[in-house]
């Protein structure tokens, strides 16, 4: 019998499949380990859950002490608005563990059938992280490449393919695809080749601007490998990458986490899951996961950019900038670094420096949609609408299947889009988001469309919904010209205040954590 996926617990509704907790329809910021802890308690109903069980079901394979569990329960209580001295939700049972104060009710509410989103986008810096969530394509080979000298022509092909895939450039990714295809032509059931080709196909989409249909092929290959070996961590990671590139956040998180459970040394999957925690606004969990590497952290080339991003969102601006700058200088061939540094400067209001860094980034690597979007935003800030439209149009040419560039090119063309076009696009995006796929940042595009249609109240409410779902880039909402017509709307301003308060709470949690880097304890955070 399948376990229930929906619970009513006092005044809370819990959706286990989507990892959502709401009170009277309003979502609560329960994500990451907080949600996993809550889910564990729910699974045990009204029984006392002892420390050993919590360790096994929430933290494994990591080993933590009882104090860590106690602190996590405290954080969950704070999020729920519970009082440890007079608990309403979770009570401590001295010397034994924890128990729900009231038994939860299992509901039979069916989940909506997942549907593929019409187009996903990640605004500004978040655009680049389309790749970050699954960017292990450059170093996945550590998890499954042969560790001994090749003993067959097939192994030699696999090793060479892994080498090319690990370089992180479009041409080399194509060379890797050819080699994996050669292996599969000889041995159709070779798991390493299926996994390698799956990741290379996903990389085509996330990193090199191919059509989204390649992620379907990537998913099929990963699923085929899992049919042969359901405990293959690389196959689970490849499946996660395919979901991630399509914007299927929860499916990607589940598969990344499964990969890490099966292989605790899979730092690339751990960091990829951390990115998705970040996108949901769980910045403490994201930062902790990125700092909790089990192997050579330098092999996860997107990790430093992710840590910098999390620090920036938490308000540790100086520490973030040092990492952004260092990564940009050290990794001229790294697409993530090339977008992150000019974007950081842009969000700091240092537009001249941002333009210089952007110009340099454009010469370093295969052009990326995020670079053209940033170029368009900088042009709008200069008042050059023509240059902005040109940049957005270049983004469309680079990835015509992507929704955001087409929206921006239309909104900033010489001739405004027709109301019927706006209405159709608004309806399409609304339907896609109702399916449960996509990222919180996707809602910003919808807000731009509503704003262009004259629906200011709806647009501001859409931004507020993005923030409630975890969107955490306060600076972008304050800086980007794409949303500035909403700046004086009370709902929009309140959404920015929500981000500020949430960041302050999470910043305090980081500073209080035993894993907090010393550099942060001595840093002055920007509120």
Q: Domain segments of the chain: what residues?
A: 6-107, 134-293, 338-512
DSSP H helices, 365-418, are: 369-381, 385-398, 403-411
Q: What is the CATH number of domain 134-293?
A: 1.25.40.10
Q: What angle do CA 213, 218, 219 make, to 5 degrees?
A: 100
**What is the predicted pLDDT for the residue at 376?**
96
Q: What DSSP letter does each residue of 93-115 carry, written as one string? A: ETTTEEEESS--EEE-PPPPPP-
Q: Where are the beta strands (DSSP E) in 51-197?
A: 90-93, 97-100, 105-107
**What is the predicted pLDDT for the residue at 472?**
96
**What is the predicted pLDDT for the residue at 139?**
38
Q: Give yes or no on whether 6-107 and 134-293 have one common fold.
A: no
Could you give the maximum distance between any two Cα atoms of the chain, in Å? Answer: 70
Question: Residue 274: how many CA atoms within 13 Å on its side-chain side?
Answer: 30
Quote the distance between the C-alpha of residue 243 and its chain's center: 11
Q: Tell me: the pLDDT tens digits for 123-179? A: 444 444 434 444 443 333 334 443 333 447 888 889 889 888 887 677 888 999 999
**What is the predicted pLDDT for the residue at 526?**
53
Assign 3-class secondary structure to 321-373: HHHHHHHHHHCCCCHHHHHHHHHHHHHCCCHHHHHHHHHHHHHHCCCCHHHHH
Distance between CA 14 and CA 30 in Å, rounded? 10
Q: Whole-structure pTM over 0.85, yes or no?
A: no
Distance between CA 444 and CA 343 in Å, rounded? 17
DSSP tag of 91: E
Using CB atoms within 10 A of its CB, is residue 438 exposed (0-12), middle (13-18) or buried (19+)? buried
Using CB atoms within 10 A of its CB, is residue 186 exposed (0-12), middle (13-18) or buried (19+)? exposed
Topology adopted by domain 338-512? 1.25.40
For 88, residues 6+ apart whose C-beta sits below 8 A from its C-beta are 10, 82, 101
**What is the predicted pLDDT for the residue at 524?**
53
For 1, residues 6+ apart whose C-beta sits below 8 A from its C-beta are none
Cβ-contact 1, 8 below 8 angstroms: no
What sign for the dihedral angle of Cα 477, 481, 483, 487? positive
Cβ-contact 291, 307 below 8 angstroms: yes
Nearest to 35 by CA among 8, 75, 63, 64: 75
Residue segments in the chain with a per-residue pLDDT below the cut of 70 = 1-3, 61-64, 108-151, 168, 365-366, 523-527
Q: Tell me: the pLDDT tens digits for 214-255? A: 999 999 999 999 999 999 999 999 999 999 988 888 899 999
End-to-end CA distance of the chain: 49
Q: What angle do CA 469, 218, 5 make, to 5 degrees?
A: 40
For 116, residues 6+ apart whose C-beta sits below 8 A from its C-beta are 246, 435, 437
Cβ-contact 395, 405 below 8 angstroms: yes
Backbone phi, psi, residue 20, to 5°:
-125, 140
Distance between CA 249 and CA 245 in Å, rounded? 9
Distance between CA 412 and CA 373 in Å, rounded? 12
**What is the predicted pLDDT for the residue at 125?**
43
**What is the predicted pLDDT for the residue at 420?**
96
Q: Three-state DSSP class for 6?
A: strand
User: What is the Cα Rg of the chain in Å?
Assistant: 23
Choosing among 1.10.10.10, 1.10.1060.10, 1.50.40.10, 3.20.20.220, the CATH entry for 6-107 is 1.10.10.10
**What is the predicted pLDDT for the residue at 3?**
65
């Amino acid at each position: 019998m399948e376990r229930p996926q929906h619970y009513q617990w006092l005044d809370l509704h819990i959706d286990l499949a989507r990892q959502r907790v709401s009170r009277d329809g309003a979502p609560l910021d329960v994500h990451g380990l907080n949600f996993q802890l809550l889910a564990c308690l729910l699974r045990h109903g009204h029984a006392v859950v002892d420390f050993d069980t919590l360790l096994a079901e929430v933290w494994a394979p990591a080993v933590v002490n009882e104090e860590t569990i106690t602190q996590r329960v405290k954080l969950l209580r704070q999020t729920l608005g519970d009082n440890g001295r007079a608990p309403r939700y979770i009570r401590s049972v001295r010397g034994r563990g924890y128990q729900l104060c009231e038994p939860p009710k299992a509901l039979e509410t069916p989940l909506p059938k997942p549907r593929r989103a019409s187009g996903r986008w990640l605004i500004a810096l978040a655009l680049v992280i389309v790749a970050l969530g699954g960017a292990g394509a450059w170093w996945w080979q550590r998890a499954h490449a042969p560790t001994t000298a090749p003993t067959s022509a097939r192994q030699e092909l696999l090793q060479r393919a892994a080498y090319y895939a690990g370089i992180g450039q479009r041409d080399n990714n194509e060379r890797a695809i050819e080699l994996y295809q050669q292996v599969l032509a000889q041995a159709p059931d070779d798991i390493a080749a299926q996994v390698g080709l799956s990741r290379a196909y996903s990389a085509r989409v996330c990193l090199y601007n191919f059509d989204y249909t390649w992620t379907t092929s990537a998913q099929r290959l990963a699923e085929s490998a899992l049919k042969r070996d359901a405990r293959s961590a690389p196959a689970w990671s490849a499946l996660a990458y395919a979901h991630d590139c399509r914007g299927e956040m929860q499916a990607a998180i589940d598969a990344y986490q499964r990969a890490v459970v099966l292989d605790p040394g899979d730092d690339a999957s751990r960091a990829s899951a951390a990115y998705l925690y970040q996108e949901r606004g769980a910045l403490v969990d994201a930062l902790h996961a990125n700092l909790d590497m089990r192997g050579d952290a330098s092999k996860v080339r997107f990790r430093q950019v992710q840590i910098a991003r999390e620090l920036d969102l938490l308000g540790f601006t100086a520490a973030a900038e040092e990492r952004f700058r260092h990564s940009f200088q050290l990794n001229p061939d790294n697409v993530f670094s090339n977008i992150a540094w000019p974007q950081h400067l842009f969000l700091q209001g240092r537009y001249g420096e941002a333009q210089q860094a952007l110009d340099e980034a454009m010469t370093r690597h295969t052009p990326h949609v995020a670079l053209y979007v940033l170029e368009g935003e900088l042009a709008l800030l200069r008042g050059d609408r023509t240059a902005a439209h040109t940049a957005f149009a270049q983004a469309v040419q680079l990835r015509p299947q992507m929704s955001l560039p087409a929206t921006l090119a239309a909104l900033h063309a010489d001739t405004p889009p027709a109301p019927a076009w706006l209405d159709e696009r608004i309806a399409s995006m609304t339907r896609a988001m109702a399916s449960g796929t996509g990222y919180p940042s996707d809602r910003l595009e919808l807000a731009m469309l509503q704003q262009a249609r004259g629906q200011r109240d709806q647009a501001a409410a859409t931004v507020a919904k993005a923030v409630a779902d975890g969107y955490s880039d306060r600076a972008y909402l304050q800086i980007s010209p794409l949303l500035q017509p909403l700046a004086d709307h009370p709902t929009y301003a309140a959404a920015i205040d929500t981000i500020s308060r949430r960041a302050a709470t999470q910043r305090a949690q980081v500073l209080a954590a035993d894993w907090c880097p010393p550099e942060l304890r001595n840093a002055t955070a920007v509120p």
